[in-house]
């Protein structure tokens, strides 16, 4: 796959993911008629090709990232079976950070890095 073609695939794949995560109707079409749903975002497959959309990713799987998705799509051009992973909507942790959490990630100012110029902080 050439770089331009790969960029187009990644852009379309990203649109598929976002739509599947934000639009229940689209997610339904992705399951009932995956070829048509993918085509809505520019991922077309040849007539008669099989499209397999994987919605559940095994917990022990690293997922593989976009390179794996590109590789699976390319393999589909040879085998006639296009496999696309569209995991469930990612869950965002909305819990609040504790004071200790905030202290461990905060930057802050320290007098230990004095620049040796006369100022009120070095006195």
Split into its structural domains, the chain has a count of 1
93 belongs to a structural domain: no
Q: Is the Cβ–Cβ distance between 55 and 82 less than 8 Å?
A: no
92 belongs to a structural domain: no
Instruction: Write down the pLDDT at residue 28.
Output: 94
Residue 61 gets the label, from left (phi > 0), alpha (psi -120 to 50) or beta, of beta
Average pLDDT over all residues of the chain: 82
Q: Where are the alpha helices (DSSP H) in 40-123?
A: 65-79, 99-105
76 belongs to a structural domain: yes
Residue numbers in the chain where pLDDT is lower than 70: 58-64, 91-92, 94, 106-123
């Amino acid at each position: 796959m050439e770089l331009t073609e790969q960029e187009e695939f990644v852009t379309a794949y990203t649109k598929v993911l976002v739509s599947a995560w934000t639009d229940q109707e689209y997610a339904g079409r992705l399951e009932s008629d995956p070829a048509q749903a993918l085509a809505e975002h520019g991922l077309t497959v040849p007539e008669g090709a099989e499209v397999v959309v994987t919605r559940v990713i095994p917990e022990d799987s690293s997922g593989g990232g976009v390179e794996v998705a590109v590789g699976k799509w390319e393999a589909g051009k040879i085998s006639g079976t296009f496999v696309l992973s569209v995991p469930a909507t990612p869950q965002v942790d909305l819990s609040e950070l504790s004071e200790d959490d905030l202290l461990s990630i905060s930057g802050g100012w320290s007098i230990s890095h004095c620049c040796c110029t006369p100022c009120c902080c070095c006195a």
